[in-house]
Amino acid sequence: MTEPARNLPLLRDAAAVVLGLTVPAMVSGRAVLQGLAALALVLVVILAATDPSIRRRWRAAATSRLGLLVLIAFAGMAVSLPGSIDPLRSADAWARTFAYIGACVLFWAFLAGDARARRLCLTTFVIGAAAGAVLVALAQLGFRLPLQVLRNAFVGKPSTWAFLDLKAYAAAAACMLPVLIWLAVTHACRPLRWIVGAAVTVILCLLITTGNKSAIAGLLAAGLAVSLILAVRQRGRWLAVWPLLAAAFAGMVVAGVYEMPDVPPASAVWAWMPPELVDAHRQQIWNFTLGKITEAPWTGFGINCLDRIPGARQIIPGLAAEHLPSHPHNWMLEVLGETGVIGFLPVLVALAWFVARETRRYLAGGGATGLAQLGLAAVFWGSSLFNFSIWSSWWLITFFLLAALTAAGPAAGGEDSGPASRPPASAPGTG
């Protein structure tokens, strides 16, 4: 079809570049990522005000079956707000998470209808991801100044700074990996595949050098999930031998994580979970949280409030650490403890629907976009079983924005010759 005139072309290009840079900008810090996301939202809101097609796509996503399930999930979590330990704090976390999802669906609605913006955004994303990974690698090799300038980190930084202080960036980089690999398969600009290959290689090395075990766990989850879906589609001997290959791969990863250096191990809470795999403090946090969940099983203690429950700040004997210093380091325990069963189950249903939809679409058509979405989800939710608070703004923006970029991107084989006449099959809110 003939591409319609692009209103405000400079503004569209600027929005595309900012969207492409947002997640890679995590190399500069969380504030930069969040600032770029806010700037992108302002630009796209202006575009949506002048382009009714963006608004139509956004409304279609919001009223789709998955969109309605997300609304139900937020309604379920809202039940915990009146009884929260800190209602204002809980309402803030609930509202901004809801806003992040709505904003990222708007980003998808913009990119899905503009082929030039889509290409510009994805190209910027690839170059930004590669540049950030290389800067971190150079800093670990001793060339620290460029990264220090980028992060404004000059004073009081030890020699281990580029290894220990960049675990959050490594987690965001792990989420970028499935999207980068997908782009290597689908992007029409073939020279970028060399850049993608370099970025993927460097990021994998950074996950090891920064010692980010939670990110590695997320990649393991993605590898197992994607390989299983591929085996199901191929059927035959591949499906038959998948359990053996998966067990061997998982065993190698677990053995590697076990041998990675970490804080001095203390006595484990559970005999079946060595502290070399999951440190004793995390085990203590999980044990404490599980005990507290039974005290408020239906509506929880309030979103983003578990660190304020009685006993959370008490020091663990022999460990010199608090029972729950900030959050449970496990998204399932966090959502269950803060919103109860009423809030937790609708979230699980929405996630299960998303996974089932993408799996069905891939098995039916074989497009790489569905695999990329599943790989991204596995990395994010798998990593979130061990690391940051699920309400962390930068962490949520990383996932939802990458999901939006993937859903708006080219189809298998490299489609990018014109504007989308309809929302792509993997749109975050369609289906």
d(CA 215, CA 218): 5
Residue 226 above 70 pLDDT?
yes
DSSP 428: T
**Is the model more confident about 253 or about 270?**
253
Identity of the amino acid at 154: F
Q: Please give the residue range of the domain that contains residue 233.
A: 9-263+279-408
Please, is 130 exposed, middle or buried when counting C-beta atoms within 10 Å of its C-beta (0-12, 13-18, 19+)?
buried
d(CA 300, CA 336): 7
**Is the model more confident about 274 or about 246?**
246
How large is the average pLDDT for residues 105-133?
Answer: 95
414 within some domain: no
Beta-carbon neighbour count of residue 261 at 10 Å? 7
Please, is 147 exposed, middle or buried when counting C-beta atoms within 10 Å of its C-beta (0-12, 13-18, 19+)?
buried
DSSP 25: G
pLDDT of residue 1: 35
How large is the average pLDDT for residues 342-361?
Answer: 95
Q: Bridge partners of 322?
A: 315
d(CA 207, CA 260): 11
427 within some domain: no
Q: Which of 270, 280, 272 is nearest to 323 (CA)?
A: 280
80 within some domain: yes
| DSSP assignments along 322-342, one per residue | BSSSS--S-HHHHHHHHHHHH
274 within some domain: no
Whether the CB-CB separation of 426 and 111 falls below 8 Å is answered with: no
Helix (H) or strand (E) holding 8: none
pLDDT tens track for 165-187: 898 999 999 999 999 999 988 86
Beta-carbon neighbour count of residue 44 at 10 Å? 26
Beta-carbon neighbour count of residue 220 at 10 Å? 22
Q: Bridge partners of 315?
A: 322
**Is the model more confident about 250 or about 431?**
250
What is the band of 188 on the pLDDT scale with cuts at 50, 70, 90? low
422 within some domain: no
* Backbone φ, ψ for residue 3 (5° rounding): -75, 125
DSSP 315: B
d(CA 374, CA 380): 10
Whether the CB-CB separation of 175 and 405 falls below 8 Å is answered with: no
What is the band of 5 on the pLDDT scale with cuts at 50, 70, 90? low
Whether the CB-CB separation of 25 and 32 falls below 8 Å is answered with: yes
53 within some domain: yes
CA count, 13 A, side-chain hemisphere, 287: 15
109 within some domain: yes
The dihedral through the CA atoms of 373, 335, 356, 65 has a sign that is negative
Please, is 247 exposed, middle or buried when counting C-beta atoms within 10 Å of its C-beta (0-12, 13-18, 19+)?
exposed
Whether the CB-CB separation of 268 and 316 falls below 8 Å is answered with: no
Whether the CB-CB separation of 92 and 152 falls below 8 Å is answered with: no
| Cα 36 → chain centroid | 17
The dihedral through the CA atoms of 30, 36, 41, 44 has a sign that is negative
Helix (H) or strand (E) holding 174: helix 167-186
pLDDT of residue 239: 85
How large is the average pLDDT for residues 223-230?
Answer: 92
Q: What percent of the chain has pLDDT over 90?
A: 64
Residue 129 above 70 pLDDT?
yes
233 within some domain: yes
Q: Which two tokens stand for residue 137?
A: 């690698």
d(CA 177, CA 88): 36
How large is the average pLDDT for residues 65-82?
Answer: 97
Query: What's this model's pTM, rounded to 2 decimal places?
Result: 0.91
Count of structural domains within the chain: 1
Whether the CB-CB separation of 279 and 263 falls below 8 Å is answered with: yes
Beta-carbon neighbour count of residue 8 at 10 Å? 14
